[in-house]
Amino acid sequence: MSSEIYSYLYEKLFELGALDVYTQSIYMKKNRPAIKLSVICEKEHLDKVIESILKETTTFGIRYNTFKRKVLERKHTKIETKYGNVSIKCAYYKDKLLKYAPEYEECKRIAKEFNIPLKKVYEDINSTFQFLIEKEKVHETTKTVKKID
Amino acid sequence: MSSEIYSYLYEKLFELGALDVYTQSIYMKKNRPAIKLSVICEKEHLDKVIESILKETTTFGIRYNTFKRKVLERKHTKIETKYGNVSIKCAYYKDKLLKYAPEYEECKRIAKEFNIPLKKVYEDINSTFQFLIEKEKVHETTKTVKKID
Amino acid sequence: MSSEIYSYLYEKLFELGALDVYTQSIYMKKNRPAIKLSVICEKEHLDKVIESILKETTTFGIRYNTFKRKVLERKHTKIETKYGNVSIKCAYYKDKLLKYAPEYEECKRIAKEFNIPLKKVYEDINSTFQFLIEKEKVHETTKTVKKID
Amino acid sequence: MSSEIYSYLYEKLFELGALDVYTQSIYMKKNRPAIKLSVICEKEHLDKVIESILKETTTFGIRYNTFKRKVLERKHTKIETKYGNVSIKCAYYKDKLLKYAPEYEECKRIAKEFNIPLKKVYEDINSTFQFLIEKEKVHETTKTVKKID
Amino acid sequence: MSSEIYSYLYEKLFELGALDVYTQSIYMKKNRPAIKLSVICEKEHLDKVIESILKETTTFGIRYNTFKRKVLERKHTKIETKYGNVSIKCAYYKDKLLKYAPEYEECKRIAKEFNIPLKKVYEDINSTFQFLIEKEKVHETTKTVKKID
Amino acid sequence: MSSEIYSYLYEKLFELGALDVYTQSIYMKKNRPAIKLSVICEKEHLDKVIESILKETTTFGIRYNTFKRKVLERKHTKIETKYGNVSIKCAYYKDKLLKYAPEYEECKRIAKEFNIPLKKVYEDINSTFQFLIEKEKVHETTKTVKKID
């Protein structure tokens, strides 16, 4: 299968409700390198996802199974930084802030606008957010947050 | 484990009823690169497959699970090409021709006999088959096909 | 390094003159999975490319070398298909058409517009082009082509 | 995520009861290379393992499932070699010795002490053990072994 | 080759002067998955490195070449953090601080001692260092640094 | 490119004088997984190898370079085993036997004929050869060997 198809397929599968899509290189009989496509989706989107993979790829079959998931509660917040407001994805475990990540598309826009490395944008924003946490200016529990918003 | 064993193992597993066999490179503790062997088979062949893997490889254990499968209905047909008759594997979705693939071993034989690139053999045969589809000379539903054969 | 940086980095490196960019997974000491970034560029772009990688990534060093290249002569042509005009990238070896590929972005646009699988778009366009080759309606040598255009 | 974290994480997960831990390189949307971490553990250790992965890594979620396992019965024995006593891990299938492996840490120590390649240490020990098997000086069934020890 | 050998081999090669060692999974003829070992070293260590690989592995041959390298100037500094003093590896480009990384072994020790995720240790130390940079308490050029130390 | 082409291509390249052929999975722009094909050959076979890759694959270009090689001197010998005569590939370093490997095709034939695991065939033959080395019945230097043959 032309590898050009993947970018399009990823896009399509996310539109159909996929929660995650990834590929892995595998090796089959007769020295055939191949790509294993994995899609995670809710049951309600399964039929559409299967139909799309069958139609868009060269595969002759699909295997699937039910998995349990443990997912952190997520919340988006906005903070002020020297580059302007930036969205941060926050994740909570047992109601406490456990990890966070600035939004990629916004950081990318900043890197281009300010003409600085994307890596530096991440470092600066993470550092600002870390400072807010220490000053207790970020609500570290999902509960408090819910009250305010 | 000597990597020479895989070619032999693939062959053996298919003989024992495996529907698919593939390997993936994984990384274990203590900087150990390793190979994860995956085999798909019907329940009735499971014991033989497990026994074979335990005996032929250095593994100390095997994990397995039941998966559901969605497989396209398949049918082999023969078409006339400028290289002679060639078998085509056809796959149907909801009773309609969805994809097809010329048989590898036949294409390989043609490439050698005519001394042309295997890639060109595929291109020519695909093009011929595509032409037959457009001229409606290929039965595009499994039903029609079943009536005729 | 956050893996989010790659999409941005690829884009940046192509802007700086990279001819090709790709990644490979490697395994380093202390069980560290890592990503090896490879960039192919002309000598004149080397300094900019090195500077960009040093600034955008977490690497502490870069290795580079001079390679010889054998590249097929390329030419873009346009053909008429049932989906409208489509660009085809043609490649010539010793002055003869050796391979071709429809432009991805155009095929993607067609797949969306006509609501058909991208795979089918490729198949149909390839088949149309293959037909034109057989009818000698495509100039199969770079020389003829140069005269006409 | 910094790849430096894996060595520490492997160690931690084994302490929490993991039976096996491995990583695979995968490719996600937007050209993001990523690492898929797989952990095999008994149900009783699941919660601790999940908590540790959520806290130590950048992941926002974990998938898990129940697998069946077929594991060879294992037993450690000690044999005399020209390098001194060495532990051998023996594995039995249907009560018969099927495979064995000298203990890595001991072989490593020998390689350093005797200043010889680790590969040669393995070869010599395997050869000595193979000789003992042929002379029936190794109990080839788990039953006999259990009586003696 | 037993994959157990790699951890030992990595250690050995670094002792012999290797600057970097990594592995990649490759696929050879006859469906043989294999591991490609890459070692970077100065010319003066080449013979020892080659001899060691030939003796410790199953390979029948080694390929090598000369590469040019662009390496950032590095300097270790120590900063005070809430976990005590921590070493930071700093890297300079055109005499300006470009990137830094806390020492893994120290962070690991802290994570264990304070019983907190290693990821959090990195975050806190990075944040502290980032703060020092902003307050200009870290000498951002190699020149200044050299004067003081 | 159809992954079916690789088995054929490997065969073809070895016929054209390739000393080694292997593939690696790489990731290109726009989420395209791809296969990097590496071929090692003597200079005299370079043109044929390049022409074959250009004709058989979808690539638009090839990079190549000159590498130095350090290859162990090799010699085939035959030993008597309980399965009959078996060929062993021996490799010498500084005129001393350093490693050996039984011929795969012969071991495979034995495994089938005697209906035993291929792994066991290797173990038994290696053990027999190891025994011969210890009894000094194998000429451990290339020089002696050359005198006798």
pLDDT tens, residue by residue, C16-52: 999 999 999 999 999 999 999 999 999 999 999 999 9
- Give the pLDDT confidence score for residue F146 in this predicted structure: 34
Taking 3-state DSSP, the helix, strand and coil percentages for chain C, each rounded to the nearest 5, stand at: 40, 35, 25
d(CA C25, CA B31): 14
Q: Closest Cα partner for F31 from A22, B26, C109?
A: A22
CB contact A120 to E (< 8 Å): no
The amino acid sitting at E36 is K
- Give the pLDDT confidence score for residue F139 in this predicted structure: 61
ipTM value of the model?
A: 0.89
- Give the pLDDT confidence score for residue A145 in this predicted structure: 39
Nearest CB to C31: which of B29, B119, B127? B29
User: Buried b / exposed e across B103-131, counting CB within 10 Å, b at 16+?
Assistant: bbebbbebbeeeeebbbbbbbbbbbbbbb
d(CA F30, CA D31): 6
In percent, how much of chain A has pLDDT > 90?
85
- Per-residue pLDDT band for C140 (boundaries 50, 70, 90) equals low
Residue whose token pair is 């290249």:
C69
Contact E26 F22 (CB under 8 A): yes
Q: Decide: pTM greater than 0.90.
A: yes
- Per-residue pLDDT band for F144 (boundaries 50, 70, 90) equals very low
d(CA F76, CA F70): 19
Secondary structure (DSSP) of E36-88? EEEEE--GGGHHHHHHHHHHHS--SEEEE---EEEE-EEEEEEEEETTEEEEE
What are the chain F neighbours of E64 within 8 Å (beta carbons)?
A: 67-70
Across the beta sheet with E84-93, what order do the strands follow? Answer: E73-81, E84-93, E96-102
Half-sphere exposure of B1 (CA within 13 A, CB side): 25
- Residue B52's Cα: distance from chain center in Å? 21
Task: List the chains bordering chain D where 3 or more Cβ pairs fall under 8 Å.
Answer: A, B, C, E, F
- Give the pLDDT confidence score for residue C121 in this predicted structure: 96
d(CA F90, CA F74): 6
How far is the alpha carbon of A74 from chain F, nearest alpha carbon, in Å?
Answer: 27
* Ranges of chain E whose pLDDT falls below 70: 1, 139-149
Residues 63-82 of C with CB under 8 A from B: none
What are the chain D neighbours of F131 within 8 Å (beta carbons)?
A: 127, 131
Q: Average pLDDT, stretch A85-100?
A: 95
Res. A149: pLDDT tops 60: no
CB contact D93 to B (< 8 Å): yes
How far is the alpha carbon of A105 from chain F, nearest alpha carbon, in Å?
Answer: 16
Pairing of strands C96-102, C84-93: antiparallel
Residues 6+ apart with CB under 8 A from A118: A107, A108, A111, C5, C8, C9, C56
User: Dihedrals φ, ψ of F16, to 5°?
Assistant: -80, 5
How many other CB atoms sit within 10 Å of the CB of residue B41?
A: 19
Res. B147: pLDDT tops 90: no
Sign of the alpha-carbon dihedral angle for A48, A49, A55, A59? negative
- Per-residue pLDDT band for A141 (boundaries 50, 70, 90) equals low
Q: Average pLDDT, stretch C143-149?
A: 38
Is A125 in contact with A108 (CB distance < 8 Å)? no
What are the chain F neighbours of E25 within 8 Å (beta carbons)?
A: 24
Using only C-alpha atoms, chain F has a radius of gyration, in whole angstroms, of: 20
- Per-residue pLDDT band for B136 (boundaries 50, 70, 90) equals confident
Interface test with D, best of A12, A22, A95, A103 (most D CBs within 10 A): A22
A105-114 contacts at long range (C-beta below 8 A, 24 or more positions apart): A107/C4, A108/C8, A110/A83, A110/A84, A110/A86, A111/C8, A113/A83, A114/A83
- Give the pLDDT confidence score for residue D134 in this predicted structure: 83
Strand partners, B63: D69
How far is the alpha carbon of F112 from chain B, nearest alpha carbon, in Å?
Answer: 10
- Per-residue pLDDT band for A114 (boundaries 50, 70, 90) equals very high
Contact B27 C31 (CB under 8 A): yes
Residues 6+ apart with CB under 8 A from D45: D16, D17, D18
The single-letter DSSP state of residue E141 is: B
- Give the pLDDT confidence score for residue E135 in this predicted structure: 84
Q: Please, what is the Cα angle at A56 between A51 and A61, to 5 degrees?
A: 60
How far is the alpha carbon of D103 from chain F, nearest alpha carbon, in Å?
Answer: 18
pLDDT tens, residue by residue, B18-65: 999 999 999 999 999 999 999 999 999 999 999 999 999 999 999 999
- Per-residue pLDDT band for C146 (boundaries 50, 70, 90) equals very low
C/D interface, count of CB pairs below 8 Å: 37
- Give the pLDDT confidence score for residue E147 in this predicted structure: 31
- Per-residue pLDDT band for C134 (boundaries 50, 70, 90) equals confident
Question: pLDDT higher for B132 or C145?
Answer: B132
Nearest CB to D27: which of F33, F127, F131? F33
Task: Write out the H or E segment, with its range, that includes residue E91.
Answer: strand E84-93
> Which two three-digit tokens encode residue D4?
């430096």
> Which two three-digit tokens encode residue F99?
């490693």
- Give the pLDDT confidence score for residue E146 in this predicted structure: 34
For chain A, list the strands marked E by DSSP: 20-28, 32-40, 61-64, 68-71, 73-81, 84-93, 96-102
Nearest CB to F26: which of C24, C89, C93? C24
Task: List the chains bordering chain E where 3 or more Cβ pairs fall under 8 Å.
Answer: A, B, C, D, F
Q: Closest Cα partner for C81 from C111, C53, C61?
A: C111
**3-state SS, residue D102:** strand
- Give the pLDDT confidence score for residue B142 in this predicted structure: 55
User: Dihedrals φ, ψ of B133, to 5°?
Assistant: -60, -45
- Give the pLDDT confidence score for residue A126 in this predicted structure: 93
Q: Please, what is the Cα angle at D33 between D27 and D37, to 5 degrees?
A: 80
* Ranges of chain D whose pLDDT falls below 50: 144-149
The amino acid sitting at D41 is C
pLDDT tens, residue by residue, F63-103: 999 999 999 999 999 999 999 999 999 999 999 999 999 99
Residues 6+ apart with CB under 8 A from B126: B102, C123, C126, C127
Q: Average pLDDT, stretch B10-17?
A: 97
What are the chain D neighbours of A21 within 8 Å (beta carbons)?
A: 28-29
Task: Write out the H or E segment, with its range, that includes residue E9.
Answer: helix E5-15
Q: Which of C94-103, E115-124, F72-81, F129-138 shows the lowest mean pLDDT across its residues? A: F129-138
- Give the pLDDT confidence score for residue F52 in this predicted structure: 97
Strand partners, D74: D91
Q: Please tell me which residue of chain F has the smallest CA distance to E30.
A: F7
User: Buried b / exposed e across A27-48, counting CB within 10 Å, b at 16+?
Assistant: bbbbbbbbbbbebebeeebbeb
